Amino acid sequence: MNMSYKNLKLIACGTFTALLVAGFTSCGKKDANSPGVEFMPDMYRSPSLEYYGSQVINGDTVYSAMTPVKGTIARGYMPYVYPNTADGYEQAGLYLKNPLAYSEKVEKEGEVLYGKFCVHCHGATGGGDGKVGGKLPGAPPAYNGTLKNLPEGKIFHSITYGKGLMGPHAPLLTQEERWKLVYYVQKLQGPKTTAAADSSKPAAAVADSTKKVK
Ligand code: HEC
């Protein structure tokens, strides 16, 4: 028993010394930048792939994340089909309708968003007299003045893409949030006048006034 314990101690000491020697000698001074011998280098170094594509590495084609198939639509996302052109603006004015059912709650949520994203330019009552709006070279027109008969589709279109000095809000607000804002802007517009203020598009404005959701 005693003897085998001694043996064990001897083996342990021997191994320790061997490791010590190996450790010192492995720190060779030949190349200061050499990382030494690597154990299973693949574990530390994976080939770096460019994202969204395929590359040939060591004769193998390797795929990283691929771009979605053309025409793919993210779940729950509705693409906005009207282009940012004068035509797109007119088309949106004629055909684009609010997909959200009107409720006071929805309008109230629009009001909250308005207080965060719009009031500094458009003012609390939408008169274009916000603190920032007044400093712009051209203040925003009043919702219940020049913009009184602006149809919902155009309101949405302009919030989405921006207009003149107003920047696009698509990156800041979801479509749902923008439609909530449309309800609140419509509230600030007040009741539409049947005699369309915008004489260039009487048909659209009149048609829209009959479809007022509230
Ligand atoms: C940086 C100031 C600024 C901010 C912020 C801003 N607007 Fe405007 N907005 C303007 C100006 C200026 C115009 C006039 C654009 C033009 O006709 O050239 C305008 C125009 C509009 C119009 C009329 C568009 C049309 O088709 O004639 C609507 C509707 C509107 N804004 C809604 C909003 C809403 C809703 C928000 C908040 C999400 C908002 N705006 C944020 C400055 C701003």
Q: How far is the CA of 201 from the centre of ligand 1 (A)?
A: 20
Average pLDDT over every residue of 99-119: 97
Nearest CA, atom 1, ligand 1: 166
Q: How far is the CA of 142 from the centre of ligand 1 (A)?
A: 10
181 lines ligand 1 (CB under 6 A): yes
Q: How far is the CA of 140 from the centre of ligand 1 (A)?
A: 6
pLDDT, position 2:
56
Express each pLDDT in 13-65 by its tens digit.
678 877 766 655 555 567 888 877 877 776 777 767 778 888 887 888 888 88
Of the candidates 142, 155, 145, which has an alpha carbon nearest to the alpha carbon of residue 204? 155
pLDDT band at 74 (very low <50, low <70, confident <90, very high): confident
Does residue 201 surpass a pLDDT of 60?
no
The average confidence (pLDDT) of the chain is 83
92 lines ligand 1 (CB under 6 A): no
- CB pairs under 8 A, 24+ apart, for 102-106? 102/183, 102/213, 102/214, 106/180, 106/183
More confident position, 177 or 48: 177
Does residue 189 surpass a pLDDT of 80?
yes
Neighbours of 166 (CB within 10 A): 16
Average pLDDT over every residue of 161-172: 96
Does residue 11 surpass a pLDDT of 80?
yes
pLDDT band at 145 (very low <50, low <70, confident <90, very high): very high
Q: What is the pTM of this model?
A: 0.69
- Residues 179, 160 contacting (CB under 8 angstroms): no
Cα-based distances in Å from 19 to 6, 32, 121, 141: 20, 21, 74, 82
The 3-class secondary structure across the chain, one letter per residue, is: CHHHHHHHHHHHHHHHHHHHHHHHHHCCCCCCCCCCCCCCHHHCCCCCCCCCCEEEECCEEEECCCCCCCCCCCCCCCCCCCCCCHHHHHHHHHHCCCCCCCCHHHHHHHHHHHHHHCHHHHCCCCCCCCCCHHHCCCCCCCCCCCCCCCCHHHHHHHHHHCECCECCCCCCCCHHHHHHHHHHHHHHHCCCCCCCCCCCCHHHHHHHHHCCCC
pLDDT, position 23:
59
Highest mean pLDDT among 32-36, 47-51, 163-167, 200-204: 163-167
Nearest CA, atom 18, ligand 1: 164
pLDDT, position 152:
97
pLDDT, position 71:
87
pLDDT, position 202:
42
Nearest CA, atom 16, ligand 1: 164
Domains of the chain, start order: 86-210 (1.10.760.10)
Does residue 214 surpass a pLDDT of 60?
no
Max CA distance (Å), the chain: 113
Q: How far is the CA of 79 from the centre of ligand 1 (A)?
A: 22
Q: How far is the CA of 166 from the centre of ligand 1 (A)?
A: 5
